Structure 1
Amino acid sequence: MLPRADAPNLPDDAPRILLFTGKGGVGKTTCAAATALHAARAGYKTLVLSSDPAHSLADALDCDLGPEARTVAPNLYAQEVDLYYSMRKYWGSMRELMLTVFRWQGVEQVAAEELAALPGMNEGSVLLWLEQAAREDDYDLIVVDSAPTGETLTLLTLPQVTRWWLANAFPFQKWAFKSVGFGVRKTTGIPLDKGYDELEAIFDKLERVRALLSDRAVTSIRLVMNPEKMVIQEARRAYTYLQLYDYGVDSVIVNRVLPTDDIPDGSFFHRYVTAQRDYLEEIERSFAPLPVLRVPHQGAEVFGMERLAPLAEGLYDGRAPTDVFFDEPTYVVEERDDTYEVRIRLPFADTATVSAQQFGDELVVQVANQRRNYTLPNFLRYYTLTRSFWRDGWLHARFAAA
């Protein structure tokens, strides 16, 4: 491992973690791979980890990858997580436990093999590999090429969900299960009690990695998007929920930005470039005060080390990719007795020019002649906006049951 003196921006007791997410097809794998390569060439021992079941990291790096980390360039290691490989290698007792439970319930062998993968376990296996890499303190930087946005939210909320699953999935109390399991193991060799212990140990690791991911000094999430309407909408929604769960989003990356100069009127690209210019302005407004990093369209497919390197240089423009680009909450939801308050950071607004209205699951905020739409958590559509006011750089919006 590199000494921390050679990596001054990194925490002393944990590797830096960068998680890239966005709608499928926006280029998050390319941005993640380029960032990892850029950091490795700057001297950071870097692991890039793919959590997307439809892996494309090997294509981006233009090399063969497997279910365990392998060296792909100096200081750079890469891995495409495979659920069933992980279960067979590390969680064999748990797998036998799950298979046995389903067989007792009359499930056929092939179906039982599929069901033995817990809900969300693909995301969970990524978190467990991440926890292992962080615990062994073997890397300066871990870059996670996450699955599309919805799966990323599943990944980040998995530790809370799996505790409930463990408590409700089995028809036995813990002590009874382990006692019965010990007897079963003695007579049949099926390690039910060990499987239960293994399952609990997994969930303990998930809790530890959740704490790591929610530490803004350690982990930053970077939202990747294209300047297109549906992509922006999904990114807004993802940002709302990431803020709701208090995860640190430190920047927005806009990928595949076409040049706007020298596009003649009436040309094939003129309408697209005009729309793109409007969407870029909307992104700046929607995600302010987050930094918005633009990646120019490269004019060709981006794969392999030599094409990834210039993309990263343009993306970070002299900044270290390991830096925390932004570390302030901008969107907070709090329960207050029987009501909820949504607070949105509007640092430069004038109280006389701020107003807010609710439309379904959106809060529409008017600041002078600018309008911004904020996606609310789904449950707030059943509440009514009763009051809004601006104070000390924040818009406060109060919601009560309809």
Structure 2
Amino acid sequence: MKKIIFVGGKGGVGKTTCASTLAFKYSKKEKVLLVSTDPAHSTGDLFDIEIKKKDEKFRYSKNLDILEIDGEKEAELYISNIQKQCNLMLSPVIMGEIKGQLKRAKNSPGTHESAIFEKINKIILKNQEYDYIIFDTAPTGHTLRLIKLPKTINIWMDTLIKKRKKILMLKNMKFDRRDRISDDKVLSLLESRRDDLLKIYKILSDSNKVSFYFVMNPDKLSFLETKRGVESLREFGIGVDKIIINKLYPDSIDPFWQEQKYKQEEFIKLIVDEFKDKNVLTIPYLEKENQEILEEIGKII
């Protein structure tokens, strides 16, 4: 695989259009998988296709596959897998209480992010035949939480592994046993989980494999959110390769719209100055639809 590209930004700025354009453009010569993680999927509308089954690849062309992730379904599978693992390791008495907690956890904050993160892991690790995997992401805050999860969870997993080893050692001492710690099912599961997290963390923190494109509009709210997003990704070690400024107004004879254009130009100067070390691109309003707009924007990005 050559590159994993995350296309992010504030809601409504044109992330899907830009992600789809990149996928469409690269697929002319190379094999591409376009993945939508945004609950409000609009990829199918842009390509003028009906994707009836979520979580199944849709073959758009010889080199382009499209996949829309069903967050609700992934959350259910995530909780179901946890329950299966608990069934193998815990007594029926304890499982009675655990099942109730897992049922409540399905709709709790963070569960959907964890579930989608698990899906992203599998997509990246099991689809190495693609030259590009392009993620059309949910709004910025949701995306940043996903990107940061491997590092956060990995720290937590290391703590759990250390505590589990300590418990096993104390058990051996208490009962004068010499059980092999490596045979413990709980420990094996934790270490396997940690190894998978290390693999994905290594990939996500490799700037040669992963890049992030921020899409924004030339206005204050988009600018501030993009600035925070870039700073947050920098702390995580992920570089932002491109800043795409979308929806630029054309010149107008109407005084009101011409004034709006002047205001946009002021913000564009501010954006270019703030991100002078980035590749900043601008996209005008285009009165085109579907494949035509993908072709036109593809000339820019």
Same fold (TM over 0.5): yes
Alignment gaps of 5+ in structure 2: 169-183
Contact 2:75 2:106 in 1 (8 A): no
Identify the residue that residue 127 of structure 1 maps to in structure 2: 120
What is the distance in 1 between the residues matched to 2:63 and 2:78? Answer: 26
Alignment identity in percent? 28
What is the distance in 1 between the residues matched to 2:110 and 2:220? Answer: 36
Opposite residue 305 of structure 1, the aligned amino acid is Q
Contact 1:103 1:109 in 2 (8 A): no
Q: Name the TM-score, length of structure 1 as normaliser.
A: 0.61
Alignment gaps of 5+ in structure 1: 1-13, 178-192, 317-402
Alignment of structure 1 residues 141-220 onto 2, 5 Å: 141-166=132-157, 173=164, 200-220=191-211
Deviations 1:361-394 (A, max 9, x none): xxxxxxxxxxxxxxxxxxxxxxxxxxxxxxxxxx
Identify the residue that residue 64 of structure 2 maps to in structure 1: 76
Identify the residue that residue 350 of structure 1 maps to in structure 2: none
Deviations 1:163-222 (A, max 9, x none): 34446789x836979xxxxxxxxxxxxxxx878755653443232122112211111111
Identify the residue that residue 104 of structure 2 maps to in structure 1: 111
**Displacement of 1:112 after TM fit?**
4.9
* Higher helix proportion (structure 1 or 2): 2
Opposite residue 39 of structure 1, the aligned amino acid is Y
Q: Name the TM-score, length of structure 2 as normaliser.
A: 0.79
Opposite residue 70 of structure 2, the aligned amino acid is D
Alignment of structure 1 residues 252-331 onto 2, 5 Å: 252-260=243-251, 263-264=252-253, 267-299=255-287, 302=289, 304-313=290-299, 315-316=300-301
Q: Which moved more, 1:17-26 or 1:161-170?
A: 161-170
Shift in CA distance, 241/117, structure 1 to aligned 2, threshold 3 Å = closer
Identify the residue that residue 335 of structure 1 maps to in structure 2: none
What is the distance in 1 between the residues matched to 2:160 and 2:111? Answer: 10
Alignment of structure 1 residues 232-251 onto 2, 5 Å: 232-251=223-242
* Higher strand proportion (structure 1 or 2): 1
- Say whether 1:28 aligns with 2:21: no
Deviations 1:92-149 (A, max 9, x none): 543434698774258377425445984731341243133324xx52101111112211
Identify the residue that residue 398 of structure 1 maps to in structure 2: none
Which residue of the other structure, out of 50, 54, 62, is the alignment partner of 1:64?
50
SS at match of 1:72: strand
What is the distance in 1 between the residues matched to 2:188 and 2:284? Answer: 50
Identify the residue that residue 5 of structure 2 maps to in structure 1: 18
Shift in CA distance, 81/98, structure 1 to aligned 2, threshold 3 Å = farther
What is the distance in 2 between the residues matched to 1:168 and 1:116? Answer: 22
Identify the residue that residue 44 of structure 1 maps to in structure 2: 30
What is the distance in 2 between the residues matched to 1:96 and 1:175? Answer: 25
Opposite residue 16 of structure 2, the aligned amino acid is T
